[in-house]
Amino acid sequence: MDDPELSAALAGTTVEELLSEVASALEGESFPRHAALALRVFEEIGLPKDQPELMGMIIQGIAKAHERLGNSNEAYDAYQRALNLAESAGDRSLAAGCLRRMGRVMMRMAQWDNATELLNKSEDLYSKLNDKIGHAEALCDIGSVHYQRGNLPEAEKAYAVALKAAEEAENVRLVINVENNLGVIANIRGDIDAAIAHYRTSADMADKIRNESLLAQAYHNLGMAYADRADWRQAGECYEKALELAHRNGIANIVGTVHLNRAHMYLELGDTTMASVACGRALSMFRTTRDRLSEAEVYRVLGDIFIRRGKEATGMKMLDQCLQMTKLVDAPLETAETYQAIGSAHEQLGHLDQAVEALGEALRHFRQVGAHADAQKIEEALARLRSVA
């Protein structure tokens, strides 16, 4: 299709207007079909050669919607199309943004090397453009890759630089993101009070600017912190708020992680039936979004459920599947937690030698990532087991 009048009309229309039809379908199952149709129409119509950046912005908008809905492959492909157009137009700012978002998609899929390469390219472009906020956003994502790979000191360094830049620029959204990430680091190190303070700051700021997506993330993280304190009432309330906000805004990854953490909560309360239901909902979501690490964690919870129900072979199979997945994607913290679960399972089954061996591996990995509170718990468990062995 090559209609000069239609092409000219398209070029003169705002991005928001061009995306209105797609946006109207965001909350329903028709979105992928609408988005694919819009992309095809835009590409067939074409745009004036001096405005490929407009096309790039349109496709980037569609990619962001795919990302929010958990359609990782579609999001990556759309970002790649937008990147190609940005590069052909010489729009380095749009290119840097596409690279960063592509890196985030790779993070979701636990492809750390690819994520790092894309994020480093984005950071370099932002630096050359002297775009301090873009640079800080890229650093924040780079910090998250360090965190996932178990390098907490490097993650904190990246977050600290990002936070300073965000505060100087009074960029509230980025401050909220970094505060959430710093809370996660504090949580891992066992400083629950500091973690809750970070999450509360994030929640208050997100509520003030009426950003429900960021508020959902803050409430989800608060729920995990309260769960670590075994404060199940507050944890449950936070998870409910996070789930409501995530559903309302179509944030697939938060919906999945809330179901997963509710499964943990139900298991701690001894309700294996509700834990199983929550696991099923989470697993369905993570398989759709290709979130491999979260999928592995579901198998860890399922392993515990089957062990408690006396299904030893099935439970150990689930735990082994989780372990293989965490090793495959090089996630030391999740690997440590899986060895801990395996050790606990062996102890319940009376296999004390295997329990000591698994907990020894858990201790090594917890020390590797600087999870001091978890490491101390493992040391205490090992001392107790060795005293009766």
End-to-end CA separation in angstroms for the chain: 77
CA distance 291 to 193: 29
CA distance 58 to 81: 10
Q: Examine the pLDDT at 6 and tell me if it is beyond 80.
A: no
CA distance 177 to 203: 10
Q: Examine the pLDDT at 43 and tell me if it is beyond 90.
A: no
Statement: the pTM of the whole predicted model exceeds 0.85: no
CA distance 219 to 234: 10
pLDDT in tens, 59-69: 666 777 777 66
The per-type count for the chain, helices as H runs and strands as E runs, is 20, 0
Task: Annotate 195-263 with DSSP letters as a single string.
Answer: HHHHHHHHHHHHHHTT-HHHHHHHHHHHHHHHHHTT-HHHHHHHHHHHHHHHHHHT-HHHHHHHHHHHH
For residue 232, give both structure tokens: 């199940």
Quick count: other Cβ atoms within 10 Å of Cβ 114? 16
Domains defined along the chain, listed by start: 1-130 (1.25.40.10), 331-389 (1.20.58)
pLDDT in tens, 130-168: 998 999 999 999 999 998 888 888 999 999 999 998 888
- Structure confidence at residue 18 (pLDDT): 46
CA distance 35 to 21: 9
